Structure 1
Amino acid sequence: MVTNNIINSHSVVLVSGGGRGITAQCIIYLAQQYGCKFILLGRSEILETEPEWSQGCTIEADLKKRIMQHLIAQKDKPTPIKVQKIYKQLCQSREVHHTLSEIEKAEYCSVDITDSLALKTSLKPIIERLGKVTGIIHGAGTLADKFIENKTEQDFYRVYDVKVEGFNSLLTNIDIPELKFIVLFSSFVSFYGNAGQSDYSLANEILNKYAYLLRQQHPHCKVVSIGWGPWDGGMVTPQLKELFEQQNIKVIPQQVGAQMLAEELAQTQSNAAQIIIMSKPISPAAKIVTTEKNSYRLYRRLTLTSNPFVYDHVIGGNAVLPAMCALAWIANSCEQLHPGYRFSTCDNYKVLKGIIFDKELANLYCLDLTEVEKSEEEITFECLIWSETPKGIPLYHYRTVIKLAKDLKTTQTVSFEGMNIPQTSLDLRPYEDGTLFHKPRFQGIKEILELDDQQALFTCNLSNISIIDQGQFFTQSFNPYTADMLFQCLLIWVRKVYNSGSLPLNLLSLKQFNSLPFNQDFFIKMSIDEHSTTKVVASAIAYNPQGQVYLEANRMQVTPSNRLNSLFLNNTVASNDTICL
């Protein structure tokens, strides 16, 4: 027998839905590996002794014929509903008995787990015999697949209650401090969704969130919610299996799934509260593009607390939304409207009135997207972010034109022939001397290799910013946090040449050839197109050490201002001046 600190031969495991199906197969495997005790809960009523007339008969048609004969002998009318009900009860009873025969130390309890009082009454004598419960596997579930407009309230609660209320009932009736582990059987549909399964998706997603909460509340206990992909059996009918095969999604063999569960329980150092187990991720199919041009208006409420990254982008005591994050907001929204297409180009990007997280932060921001050109290969949007003042006056914040491409096969490289890369860097510390106001999440410029009146060269590497810290401005195909280095480089040049701070104003075009990743070295080569005390314009490319180009920015424009010098030094949020809505 295998042993570990979480599950061993002394463990007493409470299993919902453990008498039959996929969960039962997992329990049988765990019993073989660890020799622990199991309390199996299920709604199926089992027959202590099967009737003589049904014994030995396993073929469905023959068994149903015997059921009909039995009903006739009882002077009862053998209707299809009655025959099917008895047939189902016999099959379920046989399956539970088979499960129990495969496990040396197990007891089965027929009970509705959503009835907490009934569960308490049933569990008490079993726990007295087997010992305190040390682990929970919540595998119970049911389906009522219908499109949402056809679902009844009864349909919803039939699915929801087993998953959510059933789990609440389990926790209510055991001693949680005694638990070594809790495993929740969730589903991949909680992440991807599925037609007709809105209730099932919701219930499983609640289980996922439960896992995070319980891990926080009970750090002594391993808690994990497993979003299983489709299994070979259980709720996956032959028709569903065929559908998954058409999507090139392999079903999980029962033995393989059981082994995966055992391996997860053996991972004592794992920090994952939620995992998804599938052969391949589900990618949204590209929509069929029609010639019809549509317009969209999307709304977003911004808060400081929902976007931790802006605490590292503060000017004059107020958090300021980075221009590249506003661009990501627009690009992400366009991509979400057309799955299968990716951001390729931004043209004529203008920062009209930036968004500042201060007392004037709008209650709601609007993003208007208008399709102006459409083809199978490319979709072009005119885009505007705006808000209203309390008096109803519109304020325009960002304007641009976004192009999405169906397949970004275009690549570009730079040649290192004749390119002089200095072996030593300049002794400049822009994050420390007030040249830049950016704090750690945005500090990606590592070395300044060259800087003169006409050009500059930088090496960069930005550490990963967690999804939680990215808040409402997460990375999709475009990474705004690494792209922010483009304007940072220009701000450094302006400070060194004009001794002035500056902020992004315009960008003629930004072309993306590949996503600019976190945690990787890259160069930014910048050339100055024109400059004066009132306007500086530059172009730049970001590329990796192999010469592969990520981004190409043409005519980035900033306005130098000595007033910004002192504001850059005040780069901590002044909490008393900031309103978090």
Structure 2
Amino acid sequence: MITNTQLNSSSVVLVSGGGRGITAQCIIYLAQHFHCKFILVGRSEILETEPEWSLGCTDEPALKKRIMQHLMAQQDKPTPVKVQRIYKQLCQSREIHHTLSEIEKRGGKAEYCSVDITDTLALKTVLKPIIERLGKVTGIIHGAGTLADKLIENKTEQDFYRVYDVKVEGLNSLLTNVDIAELKFIALFSSFVSFYGNVGQSDYALANEILNKYAYLLRQQYPHCKVVSIGWGPWDGGMVTPQLKALFEQQNIKVIPQQVGAEMLAEELIQTQSNTAQIIVMSKPISPAPSLITSEKKSYRLYRRLTLAGNPFVYDHVIGGNPVLPAMCALGWMTNSCEQLYPGYYFSSCDNYKVLKGIVFDQGLANLYCLDLTEVEKNEEEITFESLIWSETPKSIPLYHYGTLIKLRKQRNSIPSIGSDVRQIPQTAGDLQPYEQGILFHKPRFQGIQKVIKLDTKEAIFSCYLGTINIREQGQFFTQSFNPYTADMLFQCLLVWVRKFYNLGSLPLKLTSLKQFASLPFDQEFLIQLSIDEHSKTKVVASAIAYNTQGQVYLEANRMQVTASHRLNSLFLNNTVPSNDTICL
């Protein structure tokens, strides 16, 4: 017998959906290796004694014939619905009895109770005497689930809640009826569908994804307890029918053998070092099917509600005491959305990018922002979108924020080289510190300029390095093929040039074109070379390239334009959100 502080002969594990199916196979395995005690709860009814007329009969046609004979003997009409209901009840009861027997044979102990786990009071009633007999619950395995597969337009509200309640309200009910302080672990049986989706299973995907997020919350609230949500791939059995199994085989996805799945669960439960709240168990990832490109040009309108709390990174991008959305993050929003519409196509370039009215996280923040995407050119190799972000004013007047033309390509652009040894560039700019004395307003998450190597009236070269901004802090503006956080250095370098030669603060206004050859990475040194095209006290225009220390080019920006103003000098110094508006990150 394997001994473990979380699973041993003293453990009392509350298991939903554990009487039958794959969850039952896992419990039998745990019983064999840890000799635990189990409380199995499920909707299926268990017959204390099977009717004499059905004993020993396992063949489906023969058993259904006996059921018909039994109904007729009771002067009851043997309709197909009645016969199927009794047949199903007999099979489920037999399976539960088999599970209980196997647990006992393998050194464990188990009791089963038929109850709707979403009914908190009913669950409390049946659990109380069992817990008094077996002891306090020390672990939970939430394996219950149900399906109501239909296309979303055919789903009813009842379908949704039938699927959702078992997963989410069922977990709430389980937690309500135990002493969480006594729990060593909580294992939630989620599904790969929560990550990949599946036709007809929108409700199942949503319910399991909420289960995943619940795991993170529970881990945070109860650090003494191991919490994990396991996104199981298809098992050999359970809800996977032979037809589904054949479909997975066509996609070269292997089903999980029941013994292997049970072993993986046990390994996860006894692992005390893992800090992962969510895992996916599959033989291979599911690759998106290639998009079928037609000549029809489509239009899309996508909505997004922005919140300050949901986007922590903007606390490091504050002007005049107000967090402001970086221009490159707005561009990232548009490029990400285009890529998501056409998996397998990648951001190649944008043209005529304009900051029309920046988004400020203050009292004027709109309730809802709209992103309009219109296909203007389209073929198998590339797709061009006209992109516009806008909102409505309180008077229902459209307010335009950002606009550009975005080009996606199936093949990534080949990476050019600047053809010189950038490591030999002599430093001539002195000891300029970009993030001091209000030269720039950016705080740590955006402080990527490490050194100003060269700075004159025609040209500038900067060494940059930006550490990873974690996905939680990126909020709604996460990186895909385009990294808006490192790309922000392009405009930052130009802002430094303007401050040096005009002693003025400046902000992005437009960009004639931006071409991407490779994603500009976090955690890696890169250089930005500016060429000043034209300049005055109110407007400066420059072009730039971003490249690595081997001279390979990531980004090429043509005619970046910023607007300069004395007023911005004081606003740059006021780069902290008032304390009463801050949140704990």
What's the TM-score once normalised by structure 1's chain length?
0.90
Q: CA deviation at 1:237?
A: 0.7
Q: CA deviation at 1:392?
A: 4.9
Q: CA deviation at 1:10?
A: 1.2
Check the 8 A contact 1:109/1:122 in 2, yes or no: no
- Which stretch has the larger CA shift, 201-210 or 237-246? 201-210
Q: 1:105 is matched with which residue?
A: 108
The alignment covers a number of residue pairs equal to 578
Q: 1:449 is matched with which residue?
A: 453
Deviation digits for residues 161-203 of structure 1 (CA, Å, limit 9, x no counterpart): 3223332332232222221111111222223332222332233
- Which stretch has the larger CA shift, 151-160 or 441-450? 151-160
Check the 8 A contact 2:35/2:109 in 1, yes or no: no
Question: Matched residues in 2 for 1:32 and 1:424: separation?
Answer: 72
Check the 8 A contact 1:40/1:106 in 2, yes or no: no
- Which stretch has the larger CA shift, 409-418 or 225-234? 409-418
Q: CA deviation at 1:137?
A: 0.6
Q: Give the 5 Å matches for 1:78-477.
A: 79-103=79-103, 104-112=107-115, 113-408=117-412, 410-417=414-421, 420-422=424-426, 426-477=430-481
Q: CA deviation at 1:457?
A: 2.5
Q: 1:571 is matched with which residue?
A: 575
Q: Name the CA shift for 1:85/1:384 in 2 (closer, same or farther; >3 Å).
A: closer
Question: Matched residues in 1 for 2:413 and 2:250: separation?
Answer: 26
Q: CA deviation at 1:560?
A: 3.7
Check the 8 A contact 1:6/1:265 in 2, yes or no: yes
Question: Matched residues in 1 for 2:164 and 2:392: separation?
Answer: 41
Question: Matched residues in 2 for 1:87 and 1:299: separation?
Answer: 50
Determine helix, strand or coil for the equivalent of 1:450: strand
Q: CA deviation at 1:390?
A: 4.0
Deviation digits for residues 344-397 of structure 1 (CA, Å, limit 9, x no counterpart): 111111223322333444444333332211112111122233344444554433
Question: Matched residues in 2 for 1:135 and 1:538: separation?
Answer: 62
Question: Matched residues in 2 for 1:296 and 1:100: separation?
Answer: 55
Check the 8 A contact 2:28/2:102 in 1, yes or no: yes
Q: Name the CA shift for 1:409/1:102 in 2 (closer, same or farther; >3 Å).
A: farther
Check the 8 A contact 2:32/2:108 in 1, yes or no: no
Check the 8 A contact 1:513/1:550 in 2, yes or no: yes
Question: Matched residues in 2 for 1:188 and 1:438: separation?
Answer: 40
Determine helix, strand or coil for the equivalent of 2:486: helix
Q: CA deviation at 1:236?
A: 0.7
Question: Matched residues in 2 for 1:34 and 1:111: separation?
Answer: 25
Deviation digits for residues 444-469 of structure 1 (CA, Å, limit 9, x no counterpart): 12222333333333222212222232
Check the 8 A contact 1:426/1:447 in 2, yes or no: no
Question: Matched residues in 2 for 1:531 and 1:203: separation?
Answer: 56
- Which stretch has the larger CA shift, 117-126 or 395-404? 117-126
Q: CA deviation at 1:442?
A: 0.4
Question: Matched residues in 2 for 1:481 and 1:554: separation?
Answer: 19
* Structure 2 gap ranges (5+): none
Q: 1:19 is matched with which residue?
A: 19
Deviation digits for residues 8-53 of structure 1 (CA, Å, limit 9, x no counterpart): 2211101111111110111122222222111122233334455566
Determine helix, strand or coil for the equivalent of 2:545: strand
Q: CA deviation at 1:577?
A: 9.7
Question: Matched residues in 1 for 2:483 and 2:530: separation?
Answer: 19
Question: Matched residues in 1 for 2:383 and 2:2: separation?
Answer: 57
Q: Name the CA shift for 1:198/1:353 in 2 (closer, same or farther; >3 Å).
A: closer
* Structure 1 gap ranges (5+): none
- Which stretch has the larger CA shift, 62-71 or 506-515? 62-71
Check the 8 A contact 1:226/1:276 in 2, yes or no: yes
Instruction: Name the amino acid aligned to 2:314.
Output: V
Check the 8 A contact 2:422/2:549 in 1, yes or no: no
Q: Does 1:535 align with 2:546?
A: no
Instruction: Name the amino acid aligned to 1:289.
Output: I
Determine helix, strand or coil for the equivalent of 2:388: strand
Deviation digits for residues 409-468 of structure 1 (CA, Å, limit 9, x no counterpart): 533334335873348995222112422110011011222233333333322221222223
Deviation digits for residues 267-325 of structure 1 (CA, Å, limit 9, x no counterpart): 32333333322333334434322222233333434333332211111122222221101
Question: Matched residues in 2 for 1:277 and 1:543: separation?
Answer: 38
Check the 8 A contact 2:421/2:551 in 1, yes or no: no
Instruction: Name the amino acid aligned to 1:474.
Output: F
- Which stretch has the larger CA shift, 63-72 or 84-93? 63-72
Q: Name the CA shift for 1:26/1:505 in 2 (closer, same or farther; >3 Å).
A: same
- Which stretch has the larger CA shift, 344-353 or 239-248? 239-248
Check the 8 A contact 1:17/1:23 in 2, yes or no: yes
Question: Matched residues in 1 for 2:41 and 2:555: separation?
Answer: 57
Question: Matched residues in 1 for 2:402 and 2:44: separation?
Answer: 61
Q: Name the CA shift for 1:206/1:158 in 2 (closer, same or farther; >3 Å).
A: same
Determine helix, strand or coil for the equivalent of 2:162: helix
Determine helix, strand or coil for the equivalent of 1:357: coil
Q: Name the CA shift for 1:409/1:350 in 2 (closer, same or farther; >3 Å).
A: closer
Q: CA deviation at 1:485?
A: 0.8
Question: Matched residues in 1 for 2:319 and 2:72: separation?
Answer: 86
Question: Matched residues in 1 for 2:174 and 2:205: separation?
Answer: 21
Q: Name the CA shift for 1:371/1:11 in 2 (closer, same or farther; >3 Å).
A: same
Instruction: Name the amino acid aligned to 1:8.
Output: N
Question: Matched residues in 2 for 1:447 and 1:438: separation?
Answer: 15
Question: Matched residues in 1 for 2:558 and 2:152: separation?
Answer: 48
Q: CA deviation at 1:253?
A: 2.0
Instruction: Name the amino acid aligned to 2:35.
Output: G
Check the 8 A contact 1:286/1:341 in 2, yes or no: no
Q: Name the CA shift for 1:6/1:415 in 2 (closer, same or farther; >3 Å).
A: farther
Q: 1:483 is matched with which residue?
A: 487
Check the 8 A contact 1:308/1:470 in 2, yes or no: yes
Determine helix, strand or coil for the equivalent of 1:434: coil
